[in-house]
Amino acid sequence: MVKFMLLALLRTLLILIFAVWIFIWFLKPTNIWNKNWKQVEDSMQTTVFKYNGVDFVVYTFPIMLLAIVGLIYLYMKSLSSIRRGVKRCLTALYNPVLVKTPLGMLTGIDVLVMSLIITLLVWTFYARISNDFQKLVPAKHLKLNLWQLKLLKISTRFGLLAETCLGFLLFPILRGLSVFRLLGMQFEASVRYHIWIGTMMTLFGVLHGVGTLFIWGINQQINQIWSWQKEGRIYLAGGITFVTLLVIWISSLPSVRRKKFNLFFYMHHLYIVFLVFFLFHAGDKHFYMVFAGVFLFVIDKLLRVIQSSSETRLLSVRIFPSKVIELTFPKDPRLSYTPTSIIFIKIPMISNVHWHPFSITSSCNVDDQTMSVMIKSEGCWTNSLYNILCQKLESNSKTKCIPVAIEGPYGPASFDFIRYDNLLLIAGGIGITPMLSILQEIASAKSDFRNRSPSQIQLIYVVKNSLDISLLNPISHLVLNQNSEFCLLKLKVFVTQEKKGSSTLRELLSSLSISRTVLFDMKKSDYYTLGRGDINPILIGSIIGFSSTIFLLSLCFFNQFLFSAKQKSSKPNSPSSVVDLFLLCSFLIAVACSALVAMVLKWRKSRREREMITTIWDNGGDVMKLRAMEGARSTTTLEEHEIHYGARPIFKDLLHKMEGELEGSNVGVVVCGPESMMESVASACQQKCSKPFKSGSKKQQPFFVYHSLNFNL
């Protein structure tokens, strides 16, 4: 009861902090705010904090506090028990609202978030431009006509909209500090917001740059773009920012990103150049509006780099007939993760820059000493890995370990799929991997957990050919040897590109489970995966608070001892490249201190845990504990399971059939696979959710809640 009360308190605090932060964004363009805020900044000039301190506290600190409280909330949520049942009014937000749009499928949360951002952009532009036009006075030194002056003001305000987009741009791509996890969204889903907001920012940036250059061109003032003055707007910095933004956006287009990943990867790191020159162009007062996202992104990036610097090794590899490989890594027994979690893997033998996300197929409740992923050899990177492993298998020499870098796991704070009365899992091809972890988690749960587990699970697996059924190997013991303690599992396999075969589903599962195994020579116990668990979420929140304090103290030091004379002789509202430089120095000092603290914490904890862990890995032979449940006695048969050849599932009919079987229950629909399949399932769920209740009907319709897992970024 205390935990639930604390969670409710933290949830309320999060809502209040977010409301205050959004309120500041909406109030900032108004005359009331500008007039009163200028007085506040002037009054702070006599204090040690100057105007920089109050700008940081009001504009930046609320989102820092939101991240800190959010980490505490997610940590407490992971410790609390999950109650059965769902709040339909809230979970309905996850259901699709618009299925086929230029932006893809949109859920209720997508519509709410983007509506909030678009409303803020429209309001900001209207409030600023209406105030500009009311006070519009032709400037004699610019020699502009009235329409030219209006166009210049409009171009300037487009730059302000680009700045607003930048303020939200980096939040969706925070992995360890993801604010979107508070909404129950996966990292892959939130990346879409980064793409959408980045596209809008590029559009507004182009309108700002082109409009300004056009006015300068017709008035023969284009030469001022090459000036770098100490005070005022630095137009050369703005030009560099504009060009860098275009390069980043063009290299991020899907046609470039998927075919030329190295180009996308290296060009995307130009964000460092973009942010630095944006600071010099916009000035420190504008930079505080976007500083929170930049600060959290850098802290998150540092923690990721520190974590992934630990070297691990492949423990074993299994190669299946369908060019599917299963990688098994040694894992710290104290590292836990939830189903549908992902890890990023880098193999230096293939590339030093490619980090590929893969869904974890194992469950830490089944085996706390290993962690596994399954990979389908389809792309250049995966084919290279497959060829290397095949060579290792064919070699008669002693198999040496393959060095691997791992980042993660990243996933939901708690396993919420057990809230539902029933589960419908739909997977296509390699999209089966997150479903494997879900099923193993439920099957391995403790007895006090089972009474809240779904009473029935239906797994629909769509593959092109029967060889792909080998991906079901990690759960073959659940399909072939169900026992009475496990909830009813129904499997329906659809093989779309083959005619009816002679083999039964049992025979296919048994034959395709035969794999070739590569055991690596691994005698060191140091090579285990620490993961994100090496730093407690509470400590990460403390690092954020510590970094914020260091940044503010550094600003005070520069203002008080190195820059006080300049501030007395210049206007505090005037942009200054020297002030921007001191802000950048304070930022670097805070980041350096954060990195030092994080490295010390990781070193101390990893050293302490290595002393506690015995030599578990002798020669890599005892690595198949994950298969310990395969020997369970069969208490049911495959009569409930089906296999269909040469056909695709009709999801509308499947959901209609479930309506009669599961009346009044909450059904969680989890989908992972090709985009066309996810759209079909979303359309079926949308029709069922929008279907009105029949008046006078005693039957209550089941409530379908749609969840999609998409890893095609």
- pLDDT 10s digits, 240-255: 999 999 999 999 998 8
Q: Is the pLDDT at 72 greater than 70, yes or no?
A: yes
Please state whether beta strands 96-98 and 312-313 pair in parallel, antiparallel, or not at all (unpaired).
unpaired
On whether the CB atoms of residues 535 and 176 are closer than 8 A, the answer is no
C-alpha span between 575 and 232 (Å, rounded)? 5
Asked whether the predicted pLDDT for residue 610 surpasses 60, the reply is no
Of how many residues is the chain composed? 713
User: What SS3 class is residue 319?
Assistant: strand
Q: Write b or e for each residue in 85-120: b if 16 or more Cβ atoms lie within 10 A of its Cβ, otherwise e.
A: ebeeeebbbbbbbebeeeeebbbbbbeebbeebeeb
CA angle 523, 473, 463 (to 5 degrees): 135
Mean pLDDT over 346-358 rounds to 85
Using only C-alpha atoms, the chain has a radius of gyration, in whole angstroms, of 28
d(CA 530, CA 528): 6
- pLDDT at position 481 over 60: yes
Instruction: Looking at mean pLDDT, say which of 58-62, 220-224, 639-643 comes out highest.
Output: 58-62
**Band of residue 454 on the pLDDT scale cut at 50, 70, 90:** confident
Question: Is the Cβ–Cβ distance between 526 and 496 less than 8 Å?
Answer: no
Q: Where are the alpha helices (DSSP H) in 444-518?
A: 447-450, 476-480, 505-512
Our CA dihedral for 117, 121, 124, 125, rounded to 10 degrees, sits at -170
Per-residue tokens: 403: 């060095």
pLDDT of residue 79: 64
CB atoms within 10 A of CB 330: 25
- pLDDT of 626: 37
Strands 666-672 and 422-428: parallel
* Better-scored residue on pLDDT, 412 or 542: 542
Q: What confidence category does residue 284 fall into, taking pLDDT thresholds of 50, 70 and 90?
A: confident
- Higher pLDDT: 574 or 307? It is 307
**Residue 484 in tokens:** 């009475």
Instruction: Show the tokens assigned to 201.
Output: 């920012």
* 628-651 per-position pLDDT tens digit: 333 333 344 445 678 888 888 888
- Confidence at residue 81, expressed as pLDDT on a 0 to 100 scale: 58
| Residue pair 60/292 in contact by the 8 Å Cβ criterion | yes
Q: What is the percentage of the chain residues whose pLDDT exceeds 70?
A: 80
Q: Over 546-597, what HEC string results?
A: HHHHHHHHHHHHHHHHHCHHHHHHCCCCCCEHHHHHHHHHHHHHHHHHHHHH
Give the 3-state secondary structure of residue 316.
strand
In angstroms, the CA 349 to CA 351 distance is: 6
Contacts of 368 (CB under 8 A, 6+ apart): 331, 333
pLDDT at 563 over 80: no
Residue 166 has a pLDDT of 94
Neighbours of 12 (CB within 10 A): 10
Q: Rounded to whole angstroms, how far apart are CA atoms 202 and 120?
A: 17
Token pair 């610097």 in the structure block, residue = 309
Q: Are 168 and 25 spatial neighbours (Cβ–Cβ below 8 Å)? A: no
- Write down the mean pLDDT value for the chain: 79
What does the alpha-carbon distance between residue 375 and residue 300 come to, in Å, rounded to a whole number? 27
Strand partners, 405: 346
d(CA 213, CA 220): 10
3-state secondary structure 81-93: CCCCCCCHHHHHH
Contact 297, 520 (CB under 8 A): no
Q: Which of 197-211, 375-389, 451-465 has the highest mean pLDDT?
A: 197-211
Residue 425 confidence (pLDDT): 92
Nearest residue to 117 via CA among 181, 192, 10, 17: 192
What single letter denotes the amino acid at residue 38? Answer: K
CA distance 8 to 670: 27
Please name the residues in contact with 209: beta carbons below 8 A apart, sequence gap of 6 or more: 238, 239, 242
pLDDT at res. 198: 94
Strands 642-645, 342-346: pairing is unpaired
For the chain, give the percent of residues with pLDDT over 90: 18
Return the structure tokens found at 660: 């009669």
Mean pLDDT confidence for 610-621? 47
Average pLDDT (289-314) is 86
Instruction: Tell how many helices (H) and how many strands (E) occur in the chain.
Output: 23, 16
Structure-derived torsion over alpha carbons of residues 551, 557, 560, 562, reported in degrees to the nearest 10: -110
pLDDT of residue 696: 46
Q: What is the mean pLDDT of residues 519-541?
A: 62
SS3 46: coil
Interatomic CA distance for residues 117 and 474, integer angstroms: 43
Give the list of residues 6+ apart from residue 174 with CB closer than 8 angstroms, or none.
180, 296, 297, 300
Q: What angle do CA 116, 121, 126 make, to 5 degrees?
A: 125
CA neighbor of 669 nearest in space, from 457, 434, 373 = 457
Give the confidence band of 43 by pLDDT, cuts at 50, 70, 90.
Answer: confident
Whether residue 283 contacts residue 576, with contact meaning beta carbons closer than 8 Å, is answered with: yes
Tell me, what's the pLDDT at 278?
93
